[in-house]
């Protein structure tokens, strides 16, 4: 008699997320969206845009990328009508995800 084997599937690394509280909540029918969770984009979510445009928080690039990495998923129309302060917050999070950990650590250790 043979014992059943169990396969060990390696756990997928969790994708970092960050929550952004909106200054101006979005209205979706009867639902009010006050916070957006932004997931670190993987390479596929960045297709069709240049990394430089995303790092510079170019509005066109953000309107392509953010619908792919937000929860609830934002639409391009919602992004075009969004409070600029909220778009800057979201863009800052996205561009921060693209900076290597080493550079973040170096920047945080610099004297103010």
> pLDDT of 21-37, one tens digit each?
999 999 999 999 999 99
- The rounded distance, in Å, linking the Cα atoms of 46 and 52 is 11
- Indicate the pTM of the whole model: 0.81
Strand partners, 36: 20
Summarised one tens digit per residue, pLDDT across range 38-63 is 999 999 999 999 999 999 999 999 99
- pLDDT at residue 11, as a whole number: 55
Tell me the average pLDDT of the chain: 88
Residue 74 CB-half CA count within 13 A = 29
Q: At residue 12, does pLDDT exceed 70?
A: no
CA–CA distance from 55 to each of 9, 65, 110, 112 (Å)? 35, 12, 22, 23
């Amino acid at each position: 008699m043979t014992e059943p084997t169990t396969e060990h599937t390696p756990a997928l690394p969790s994708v970092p997320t960050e929550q952004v509280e909106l200054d101006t909540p979005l209205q979706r029918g009867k639902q009010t969206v006050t916070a957006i969770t932004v997931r670190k984009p993987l390479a596929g979510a960045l297709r069709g845009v240049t990394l430089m445009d995303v790092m510079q928080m170019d509005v066109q690039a953000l309107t392509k990328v953010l619908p792919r990495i937000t929860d609830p998923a934002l639409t391009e129309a919602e992004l075009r009508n969004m409070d600029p302060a909220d778009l800057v917050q979201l863009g800052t999070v996205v561009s921060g995800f693209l900076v290597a950990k080493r550079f973040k650590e170096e920047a945080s250790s610099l004297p103010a």
